[in-house]
């Protein structure tokens, strides 16, 4: 491809509305342009990377015997009403009416559509297992579209849906997709982790997220430093913390803590560690139900764990009014002692081993010290409701400690069980002619998000450093002074042909620009290999090959350069 005939509108300045590096670089490299919030044009260079990644995904899906198809973006409301999600999905579902007043939505995902197709076409156990996938545009009216392709409103997703005769067959389909995902992200050269994920309101079944490790990631994940345990913090557990030195129960004391509304204030005032304090939080359901939750002072309550424990579909901090009505206390001095009204008190497991704690006294400017569960207050249930922290003991192995990372969720695999097949009556006849409900799994990969995540992980101050498998071109060929130097131009054209003949994708920078401009642009757009053809070295039969990622420079004969490029590309694209 000749740069001069191509379209790469690079930009020098960092766009002010782009917060993360990948968004900045994709704009600066002329890969994408914003049309509206969360809606982008994929310019030629961006599209090339997207297509490269799609092809890797497609190859691995096909290898795992998933079958490609394509479903529509516009979906009728009836299907969503049948699954119950027309009301449940909320505002991310963009709804509209056609000229006949029939209701539709833009598909944010395709469980309903595929289950409808399958219930019509799959009638017998003989037709399963089967797994359908597509690479298609989704629309989600995200509340905060941001970070470019990372969280768009319109975005490309690969989604696959497996259909099996029973739960154990569905587990095999799930494992197959899990392995395919491992291969996909490995092939892209990404540093990633597969982590256990929360299954939310669907419950029971299992789920893994594939996280590209990056500081800018929106998710917090943990992994064990000794075994393979890894989980999203939303879900991560820890082994029981070691018990402190035993002391007898001391006498409850009331302490004045004027204006000290935070745990840190109170602990500092009393000269104790926050680990000896207990934090009290009050949560409410939309329907008005209220619960009190207790966690150790230095721990964070995990709302997702609490919500799952309660089986609630929604959770929010209780209002000041709600808090006053059940505790009688202003915020900042809450505690489980002397409640005005009986509410359920849920304490984190860690509190089981704590004695003589500092806790709010349910009165303005007052705390208790030496409060003890059972004697001074009642806990209805002990369960895991805190977020783990770095250094917590691993829940799976004896000596491991948890380490924390930030990650970008690029893929998600999920055992759905019979949630959708039941709701939509997707059944089949078993060998005995008996009607049975189909077991499903669903498997998503964010195509644009993965390309953005790859950039987030692979860049330097000069721009993008694409891993070869998803680079828009393998190699750039920078011809120095080519518009004035016919020898350089002819040699460059010849080298370009030689490279293309051996399957290398070359971006031939034949522009009438100074070398500095060409080098800058080629660094910015992240082409992994750069071959420079200049008159001086050419006179000695040499060209210069630079590896973008390491900065290594090799001065080589033309034929050596061609074979080295060929080797490097082949090595990067190799798979077993
Ligand atoms: P998130 O928690 O980031 O909103 P999600 O759990 O809603 O993601 P899924 O419904 O599992 O995402 O979608 C499958 C994949 O699609 C995700 O793993 C992610 O890679 C991608 N994806 C989801 N939402 C977006 C978005 N708004 N923009 C780009 N990619 C997205
Ligand atoms: Mg989402």
Mean pLDDT in residue range 447-472: 98
Q: What is the mean pLDDT of the chain?
A: 95
Instruction: Please state the length of the chain.
Output: 576
Gap between the Cα atoms of 296 and 468, Å rounded: 48
Q: Classify residue 179 as left (phi > 0), alpha (psi -120 to 50) or beta.
A: alpha
Region at 336 (left for phi over 0; alpha for psi -120 to 50; beta for the rest): alpha
Question: Are 350 and 296 spatial neighbours (Cβ–Cβ below 8 Å)?
Answer: yes
Q: In sequence order, what are the residues at sequence separation of 6 or more whose Cβ sits closer than 8 angstroms to the Cβ of residue 443?
A: 133, 159, 160, 161, 162, 177, 181, 411, 412, 413, 414
For 315-322, which contacts have Cβ atoms below 8 Å and span 24 or more sequence positions? Answer: 315/283, 315/284, 315/285, 316/283, 316/284, 316/285, 316/286, 317/281, 317/282, 317/283, 317/284, 318/282, 318/283, 318/284, 318/290, 319/284, 322/282, 322/284, 322/288, 322/290
Q: Which ligand is nearest to the CA of 109?
A: 1
Give the ligand 1 atom nearest the CA of 140: 27
Least reliable range by pLDDT among 8-12, 71-75, 204-208, 307-311: 204-208
Judge residue 203's burial from the number of C-beta atoms within 10 Å of its C-beta, 0-12 exposed, 13-18 middle, 19 or more buried.
Answer: exposed
Q: Which atom of ligand 1 is nearest to the CA of 218?
A: 3
- pTM score, whole prediction: 0.92
Q: What is the mean pLDDT of residues 111-135?
A: 98
pLDDT of residue 88: 86
- Nearest Cα residue to 161 out of 386, 409, 426: 426
The token pair that represents 100 in the structure block: 């006949």
Which residues share a beta bridge with 427?
A: 437
Q: What's the gap in Å between 446 CA and the centre of ligand 1?
A: 6
Question: Given a cut of 90, is residue 132 above it in pLDDT?
Answer: yes
> What is the distance in A from the centroid of ligand 2 to the CA of 376?
43
142 Cα: distance to centroid of ligand 2 (angstroms): 7
Task: Please give all residues whose beta carbon lies within 6 A of any atom in ligand 1, as ranges.
Answer: 109, 140, 142, 151-152, 155, 157, 409-412, 444, 446, 448-449
Tell me the per-residue pLDDT of 322-333, one tens digit each, with 9 for 90 and over: 999 999 888 889
Indicate if the alpha-carbon torsion angle 556, 558, 560, 563 is positive or negative: positive
Q: 259, 366 in Cβ contact below 8 A? A: no
Q: How far apart are CA 512 and CA 460, in angstroms?
A: 27
Residue 497 CB burial class (10 angstroms; 0-12, 13-18, ≥19): exposed
Q: Which atom of ligand 1 is nearest to the CA of 108?
A: 10
Mutation choice for ligand 1 from 93, 409, 456, CB with most ligand atoms inside 8 A: 409
Q: Confirm if 482 and 488 have CB atoms less than 8 A apart.
A: yes
What pLDDT sits at residue 299? 96
CB of 483 within 8 A of CB of 490? no
Q: pLDDT of 96-109, one tens digit each?
A: 999 999 999 999 99
pLDDT computed for residue 330 by the predictor:
86
Domains and CATH numbers, the chain: 11-220+404-456 (3.30.930.10), 253-383 (3.90.960.10), 473-573 (3.40.50.800)
Q: What are the structure tokens assigned to 382, written together?
A: 């002990």
Residues 298-316 pLDDT 10s: 999 999 999 999 999 889 9
Q: What is the DSSP letter of 484?
A: T
Q: Among candidates 307, 292, 392, which has minimal Cα distance to 347?
A: 292
State which ligand 1 atom lies nearest to the alpha carbon of 210. 18
Tokens 């300045």 -> residue: 13
How many Å apart are CA 37 and CA 401, to the nearest integer? Answer: 42
Residue 195: its pLDDT value, please?
A: 97
CA dihedral 212, 216, 219, 223 (to 10 degrees): 60
Q: Which of 412, 416, 442, 448 to mutate to test the pocket of ligand 1 (most atoms within 8 A of CB)?
A: 412
């Amino acid at each position: 491809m000749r740069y001069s005939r191509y379209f790469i509108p690079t930009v020098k300045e960092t766009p002010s509305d782009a917060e993360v590096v990948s968004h900045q670089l994709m704009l600066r490299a002329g890969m994408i342009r914003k049309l509206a919030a969360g809606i982008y044009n994929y310019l030629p260079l961006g599209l090339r990377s997207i297509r490269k990644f799609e092809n890797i995904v497609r190859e691995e899906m096909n290898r795992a015997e998933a079958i490609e198809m394509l479903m529509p973006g516009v979906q009728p409301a009836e299907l969503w009403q049948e699954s119950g999600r027309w009301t449940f999905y909320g505002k991310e579902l963009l709804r509209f009416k056609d000229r006949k007043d029939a209701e539709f939505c833009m598909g944010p995902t395709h469980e309903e559509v595929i289950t409808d197709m399958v219930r019509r076409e799959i009638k017998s156990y003989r037709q399963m297992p089967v797994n359908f996938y597509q690479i298609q545009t989704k629309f989600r009216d995200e509340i905060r579209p941001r970070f470019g392709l990372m969280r768009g409103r319109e975005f490309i997703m690969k989604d696959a849906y497996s259909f099996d005769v029973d739960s154990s067959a569905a587990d095999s389909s799930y494992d197959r997709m899990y392995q395919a995902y491992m291969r996909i992200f490995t092939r892209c050269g990404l540093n990633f982790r597969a982590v256990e994920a929360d299954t939310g309101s669907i419950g029971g079944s299992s789920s893994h997220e594939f996280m590209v490790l990056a500081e800018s990631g929106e998710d917090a994940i943990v992994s064990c430093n000794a075994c393979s345990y890894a989980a999203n913090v939303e879900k991560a557990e820890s082994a029981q913390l070691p018990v402190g030195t035993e002391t007898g129960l001391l006498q409850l004391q009331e302490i004045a803590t004027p204006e000290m509304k935070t745990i840190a204030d109170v602990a500092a005032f009393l000269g104790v560690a926050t680990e000896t304090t207990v934090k009290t939080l009050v949560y409410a359901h939309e329907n008005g139900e209220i619960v009190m939750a207790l966690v150790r002072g230095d721990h964070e309550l995990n709302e997702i764990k609490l919500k799952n424990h309660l089986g609630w579909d929604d959770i929010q901090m209780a209002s000041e009014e709600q808090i006053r009505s059940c505790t009688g206390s202003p915020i900042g001095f809450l505690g489980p002692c002397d409640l005005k009204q009986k509410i359920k008190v849920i304490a984190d497991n860690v509190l089981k081993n704590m004695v003589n704690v500092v806790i709010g006294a349910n009165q303005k400017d007052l705390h208790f010290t030496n409060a003890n569960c059972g004697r001074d207050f009642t806990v209805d249930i002990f369960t895991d409701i805190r977020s783990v922290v770095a250094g917590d003991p691993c829940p799976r192995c004896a000596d491991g400690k948890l380490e924390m990372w930030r990650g970008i969720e690029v893929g998600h695999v999920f055992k759905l069980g019979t949630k959708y097949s039941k709701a939509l009556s997707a059944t089949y006849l078993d060998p005995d002619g008996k009607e049975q409900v189909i077991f499903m799994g669903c498997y998503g990969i964010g195509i644009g998000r993965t390309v953005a995540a790859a950039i987030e992980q692979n860049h330097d101050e000069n721009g993008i450093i694409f891993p070869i498998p998803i680079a828009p071109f393998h190699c750039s060929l920078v011809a120095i002074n080519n518009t004035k130097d016919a020898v350089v131009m002819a040699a460059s054209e010849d080298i370009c042909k030689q490279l293309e003949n051996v399957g290398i994708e070359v971006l031939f920078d034949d522009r009438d620009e100074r070398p500095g401009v060409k080098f800058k642009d080629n660094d910015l757009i992240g082409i992994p290999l750069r071959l420079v053809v200049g008159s001086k070295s050419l006179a000695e039969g040499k060209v210069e090959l630079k590896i973008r990622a390491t900065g290594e420079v090799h001065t080589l004969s033309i034929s050596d350069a061609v074979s080295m490029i060929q080797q490097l590309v082949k090595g990067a694209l190799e798979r077993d």
